[in-house]
């Protein structure tokens, strides 16, 4: 009986993705090491931290320094004028209402010149091709470039060009936020032959006040993202090849985009979700085969099928 290949997938969810550190902490205590990690959008930050082998304390400190309200505090004045006078100022696909210089600086300070080749665990980061809408899986090159592309929030940050591998070879592709093609890219773990997939997903909160164009855009984005998440999960439920443990952490308070001060509570929610599923995961790892079974728990959905 061969050892089962385990994948950890961290979906889009902004600062709530820090729950992945809680999931990883529980797995470490149980002596379970994922064979690969997949990250999307905000989840790309924490998937990268896990793949690099950072401790929970180190990942918390560095991401708190990186992800602050200042990131969206600087307007991109040229983009505003381009929107008003597109023909005169040359409007193109590289449009974002916020200046991205600070986020680039923070990403470089946090990840430096690290590449995918330097991670302790195989890492895959997803983004979306702005020209075709296709999912793009990034697995080589600088980590900073991959993360910057994966978190290119529409209207907020401009799309990011990355030299990605395609069937036609390496080519420059303009990429936007990974959640636009799949908020929880379980399909990447499936393609990599994972026998057991631990998928950490989040619903995007809806706006409580519609008092600005940006909030209006975020509301539309939330509707689209949540609908896509449900549709993709229904598809994976029908088509996945093996064991899928879906974790949906329960937060006792509203978590906003820049609530990094709530990291301890977010990480604790991830620990709670993983701990509830741990006995089942341990039994799955030790079993020769699976039985068809599906059950709902407080912290997520367990889906298993016979291989």
Among all residues, which ones are annotated catalytic?
A: 41, 177
281: Cα separation from own chain's centroid: 22
End-to-end distance of the chain based on CA atoms, in angstroms?
A: 14
Give me the DSSP letters along 52-75: TT--HHHHHHHHHHHS-GGGGTSB
The greatest distance separating any two alpha carbons of the chain, rounded to the nearest whole angstrom, comes to 66
Provide the token pair at 45.
């930050």
Q: Nearest-CA neighbor of 11 among 293, 289, 278, 248?
A: 248
Provide the token pair at 95.
């449009």
Provide the token pair at 226.
């949540």
Q: Give the C-alpha separation, 281 to 32, whole Å.
A: 10
- Given a contact cutoff of 8 angstroms between Cβ atoms, the answer to whether 273 and 299 are in contact is yes
Residues 6+ apart with CB under 8 A from 95: 79, 82, 83, 155, 158, 159
Q: Give the C-alpha separation, 119 to 115, whole Å.
A: 7
Q: Is 289 helix (H, G, I), strand (E, B) or coil?
A: coil
238: Cα separation from own chain's centroid: 22
């Amino acid at each position: 009986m061969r050892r089962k290949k385990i994948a950890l997938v961290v979906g889009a969810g902004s600062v709530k993705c820090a729950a992945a550190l809680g999931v990883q902490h529980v797995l470490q205590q149980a002596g379970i090491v994922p064979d690969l990690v997949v990250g999307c959008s905000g989840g790309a930050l924490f998937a990268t931290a896990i793949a690099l082998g950072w401790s929970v304390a180190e990942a918390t400190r560095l991401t708190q320094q990186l992800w602050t309200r200042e990131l969206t505090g600087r307007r991109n004045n040229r983009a505003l004028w381009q929107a008003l006078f597109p023909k005169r100022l040359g409007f193109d696909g590289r449009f974002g209402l916020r200046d991205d210089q600070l986020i680039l600086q923070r990403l470089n300070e946090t990840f430096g010149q690290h590449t995918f080749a330097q991670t302790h665990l195989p890492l895959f980061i997803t983004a979306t091709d702005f020209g075709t809408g296709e999912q793009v899986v990034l697995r080589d090159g600088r980590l900073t470039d991959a993360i910057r592309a994966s978190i290119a929030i529409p209207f907020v940050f401009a799309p990011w060009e990355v030299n990605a591998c395609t069937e036609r070879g390496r080519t420059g592709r303009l990429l936007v936020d990974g959640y636009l093609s799949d908020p929880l890219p379980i399909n990447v773990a499936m393609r990599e032959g994972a026998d057991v997939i631990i998928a950490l997903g989040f619903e995007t909160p809806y706006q409580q006040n519609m008092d600005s164009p940006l909030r209006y855009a975020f509301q539309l984005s939330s509707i689209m993202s949540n609908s896509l998440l449900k549709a993709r999960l229904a598809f994976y439920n029908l088509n996945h090849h093996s064991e899928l443990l879906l974790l949906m952490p329960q937060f006792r308070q509203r978590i906003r985009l820049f609530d990094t001060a709530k990291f301890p509570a977010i990480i604790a929610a991830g620990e709670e979700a993983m701990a509830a599923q741990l006995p089942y995961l341990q039994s799955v790892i030790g079993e020769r085969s699976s039985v068809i079974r599906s059950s709902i728990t407080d912290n997520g959905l367990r889906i298993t099928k016979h291989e």
